[in-house]
Structure 1
Amino acid sequence: MADRDLIFVGPTGYQSNRLGAVSERYSVFPPLIRGMLAPVLHDHPSGRVILVDGGFYHEYAVDHREICAALRDGREVIGLGSMGALRAVELRSHGMRGYGAVVELIGRYGLYDDEVMLLHGAEPPYRPVTVPLVEVRAALGHLLLAGLVDADDVAGVIAEIAGLWFADRSMPRILQAQQRRTPGRPQAVEALRNQLQGPALLKRIDLECLLAGSPPPAVRMLPCGAVVPDSPHGFEPA
């Protein structure tokens, strides 16, 4: 049997259709925190390291030096999703490889680290409590392409949500912001709710594409701040 890859994942994998079916190919670990990587690598001396989620609020975040040590030891380290996407962009010159739409958005548009942050349950299945701003951008991109909102509506909602502390970006606060921008269009609020419950969750889509061995979705960010697909396949893999 081929060596299993090591994947550190938490809320990005919540309700993933694929994560529960990869036990033969992956050893799954909780979100990575400082001091956790070296012991895991000692116990698992082969296999790629795939960093998706990591602790940062109640625990110390994984240090860059820990990842660089793994790279120097010859491990392939891939980052995507949340903490993995941030570290992949920060350490790309050191050999860490990024994967997915979120990495592309951080690297190309310089999104702040709090764009991927969220509060979530402390134990599996790590149920999300708040919504990352990058997911709001993608959901609003869907509404914009569907003609339910215009660019000014999008820019106004994003500005309001971006002004909140990441832990205050709850679903009710986001929907209230949308309601204020489109008071006569309840369908826009409902469409935003629906998108944030699954179809436009870029971090999860990146994870499922990687697990499936598929290319990640191609995306771009519009001047209004919405994230939209850069291919006719939408947010699905090409």
Structure 2
Amino acid sequence: MSSDNGPILVFLGPTLRLAEAEKVLDAVYLQPAAQGDILLAAHAFRPRAMVLIDGQFEDRPAVRHKEILWAMAQGIVVIGAASMGAIRAAELDEFGMIGVGLIYRWYRRQRLSRIPAPDDAVAVHSGPAELGFLSLTESLIDLQRTFSVLMRRGRITPAERDQLTATARAMNFRERSLSAVVEGAGWLQDRCKGLREEMVRQKRRDALLALSNAPRLVAERESTDASHGWVATNTFLRDLEAGGIDSNLVNTYKLNP
């Protein structure tokens, strides 16, 4: 089972620079999580908690709900924020996953709405691991927050806010950037510099909030029994094996030692 003295693991990518994160929380930092990574990381590090911020979803299947539920069944506290973590926390908070930040709350509110929030609202195109997953585009959520703040400050009109937001939403996440949105809306590029200086990095804010609060949240959750039952499904086991992961790992941690 998870150890009270085990480390906190953080799955981090383009949302926050590693050097900045390390100043906030002493943890083991891993690459953005994909299918099977939570299972493998649990066996490798025997952590007391995991903080899911960034996840992969293009070259590899996204981290599955089932493996997060598996981790929590082992007594591992799981926190989600900012990006993929916010999405999974909004989907699994009723099962014990802890969500942190504005983006998590936004996804939670939108979960049962007539038009759910799109997953790609937090997606960005990033560089390779060798470059620290440097973000090459802006997320839709950061752009929307920026346009709303600029409108409240009187820097742009409500009509301009709506125009910029609609332009950003129509773009593929691999192409979204402030300059591309400004150009797509038919604005002169000289307006982009002024807007960029007031860019709202909501994903970064939420990630920092999750990291700074992680020790307290973990301690609070460890003092209560928030675990839920976990049952493997054939589909989940087949998916693991298709990804080259030994499905027997789900039975050799705590549930069936």
Judge same fold: TM > 0.5, yes or no: yes
Percent identity at matched positions?
Answer: 26
Query: Where does structure 1 differ by over 3 angstroms across 4 or more consecutive aligned residues?
Result: none
What is the aligned partner in structure 2 of residue 202 from structure 1?
202
| Structure 1 CA distance for aligned equivalents of residues 6 and 43 of structure 2 | 14
| Structure 1 CA distance for aligned equivalents of residues 106 and 59 of structure 2 | 26
Conservation of the 8 A alpha-carbon contact between 2:126 and 2:133: yes
Conservation of the 8 A alpha-carbon contact between 2:7 and 2:46: no
Conservation of the 8 A alpha-carbon contact between 1:38 and 1:66: yes
- TM-score norm. by structure 1 comes to 0.79
| 2:118 matches 1:116 | no
The structure-2 alpha-carbon separation of the partners of 1:193 and 1:22, relative to structure 1 and needing over 3 Å to count, comes to closer
Q: Deviations along 1:48-77, whole A, 9 cap, x unmatched? A: 110000000121111111111111112111
| 2:65 matches 1:64 | yes
The 5 A counterparts of 1:1-238 are 2-14=5-17, 18-22=20-24, 25-109=26-110, 110-123=116-129, 124-177=131-184, 180=186, 186-187=190-191, 189-196=192-199, 200-213=200-213
Conservation of the 8 A alpha-carbon contact between 1:101 and 1:206: yes
Conservation of the 8 A alpha-carbon contact between 2:81 and 2:210: no
Is there any run of 5+ residues in structure 1 with no aligned partner, and where?
A: 216-238
| Structure 2 CA distance for aligned equivalents of residues 209 and 67 of structure 1 | 21
What is the aligned partner in structure 2 of residue 232 from structure 1?
none
Secondary structure of 2:125's aligned partner: coil
| Structure 1 CA distance for aligned equivalents of residues 102 and 19 of structure 2 | 19
Q: Deviations along 1:136-168, whole A, 9 cap, x unmatched? A: 011112211221111111111111111112212
**Structure with the greater relative contact order (CA < 8 A, sep ≥ 6): 1 or 2?**
2
- TM-score norm. by structure 2 comes to 0.73
| Structure 1 CA distance for aligned equivalents of residues 108 and 213 of structure 2 | 22
What is the aligned partner in structure 2 of residue 235 from structure 1?
none
Q: Deviations along 1:110-152, whole A, 9 cap, x unmatched? A: 4211100111012142111111100001111221122111111
Conservation of the 8 A alpha-carbon contact between 1:195 and 1:201: no
| Cα distance, 1:2 vs structure 2 | 4.9
| Cα distance, 1:20 vs structure 2 | 3.0
| Cα distance, 1:104 vs structure 2 | 1.2
Deviates more, 1:101-110 or 1:112-121: 101-110
| Cα distance, 1:170 vs structure 2 | 2.8
The structure-2 alpha-carbon separation of the partners of 1:115 and 1:72, relative to structure 1 and needing over 3 Å to count, comes to same
Larger radius of gyration: 2
Conservation of the 8 A alpha-carbon contact between 1:143 and 1:191: no
CA RMSD of aligned residues (A): 2.3
Give the paired residue count. Answer: 206
Deviates more, 1:43-52 or 1:206-215: 206-215
| Cα distance, 1:28 vs structure 2 | 0.6
Secondary structure of 1:49's aligned partner: strand
Is there any run of 5+ residues in structure 2 with no aligned partner, and where?
A: 111-115, 217-257
Secondary structure of 1:102's aligned partner: helix
Conservation of the 8 A alpha-carbon contact between 1:17 and 1:208: no
Conservation of the 8 A alpha-carbon contact between 2:24 and 2:212: no
